[in-house]
Amino acid sequence: MFVAATSRCFHNLPLDAALSRLVDLQFTAVEIMIHTTDGHIKPAEVAADLERAVQLCRQTHRLTPIALSFDTDAPEDEAYRQFAACCKLAKAAKVIAITVRSSELGTPFNGEVERLRKLVSIAAPEGVVVGLQTEANRISQDPGTITTLCDNVKGLGITLDPSHFICGQQTEINYEELMKDIIHVRLRDTSKEEFQVRVGQGEVEYGRLVTLLSRVKYNRALCVDIEPVPDVDQNAEMRKIRLLLESLL
C-alpha cells in the first residue's frame, strides 16, 4: 500500500497548480477527478479532445497517476461515449482503476446491473478496472447490495470510501465483506455529524482499515480526498493525514 491524494484536494486551484502543491506536500501519486461539476477536467472535454486530456494527465510534476474518477450529468448514450474516452485516457496514462458512482436510490436493481455491465465491457478492452464508489443515499450505500452487484457484474470492483458508512449513521456500518473486491480507497476524517472534520477529530479507524486491507493483500493506494474548507489550513491537514497514513504502512 502507498499514500496518494486526489486532485480534488485542491479543486480551488488550476490543475497544474494543484499537482504542484501535492508535490510540495511530498505526495508521489495522484487520482485525477474527471467530473462535470468538481473536476479539473470535464468528461465532455476528454471526449472532445482526447489528445489534450492525455497531455494534461502526463504533465503531473513527477506525480504518478494511479486512478481516474468519472462523473457526468450527460444523457445515457453521451455518458457512455464520454466514459469510453476516459478509459482510453486511462490506458494512455497507464492507469488501471477508474471510479464511477452508482445510480440514485429507487433505480431498478436490474437496470443498475445492466448499466454497470456496460461500463465494465467498455473499460475491459482498455485494460481498465471499474470501481463502484461506496456512497450514502445511492444504491451503493449498503455493503450487502454492493456485494450483490459485484456478484452480478463480472469484473466490477469497489472504491471504498468509509466516510459514507460513518456520517449520518446510528452505528458504523460493517464493511468487512467488501474487502476482497476493493480496487481503490479514498480517505478523510469523518464524524457521525460531519462528513469531513479536521484530521484526528473524527471516527475513521485508519489502523483497522489498513489491517483489513493487508489481510486481502491490497497493494494499491490509500488516497486522501480532503476538500478545502474556509478557515482551515489545507496544507497542514494534508501533511497530517499523509504522515498518519504512512506511519501505519
Q: What is the pLDDT of residues 159-171, one digit of tens each?
A: 999 999 999 887 7
User: Which element (helix H / strand E) includes 159?
Assistant: strand 157-160
How do residues 12-35 score in pLDDT, each as one tens digit? 999 999 999 999 999 999 999 999
Q: Which amino acid is at 160?
A: L
State yes or no: pLDDT of 174 exceeds 90: no
Helices (runs of H) and strands (runs of E) counted in the chain: 8, 8
State yes or no: pLDDT of 148 exceeds 90: yes
Q: Is 81 exposed, middle or buried (0-12, 13-18, 19+ CB in 10 A)?
A: middle
At residue 229, the 3 state secondary structure works out as: coil
The pLDDT value recorded for residue 170 is 73
The pLDDT value recorded for residue 171 is 76
Provide the mean pLDDT of the chain.
94
How do residues 48-73 score in pLDDT, each as one tens digit? 999 999 998 888 888 999 999 999 99
Residues 6+ apart with CB under 8 A from 82: 43, 44, 46, 47, 70, 72, 74
The pLDDT value recorded for residue 213 is 96
Cβ atoms of 111 and 146 closer than 8 Å: no
CA-CA distance, 195 to 91, in Å (whole number)?
33
Query: Is the CA virtual torsion 222, 227, 228, 230 positive or negative?
Result: negative
State yes or no: pLDDT of 39 exceeds 90: no
CA-CA distance, 30 to 89, in Å (whole number)?
15
Q: DSSP letter string over 3-23?
A: EEEEGGGGTTS-HHHHHHHHH
Query: Is the CA virtual torsion 209, 212, 213, 214 positive or negative?
Result: positive
Q: Is 23 exposed, middle or buried (0-12, 13-18, 19+ CB in 10 A)?
A: middle
Residue found by looking up cell 511530498 in the block: 26
Range of the domain at 88: 2-248
Instruction: Give the chain's domain count.
Output: 1
How do residues 218-242 score in pLDDT, each as one tens digit? 999 999 999 999 999 999 999 999 9
CATH number of the domain residue 89 falls in: 3.20.20.150
Q: Considering the entire predicted model, what is its pTM?
A: 0.93
How do residues 127-147 score in pLDDT, each as one tens digit? 999 999 999 999 999 999 999
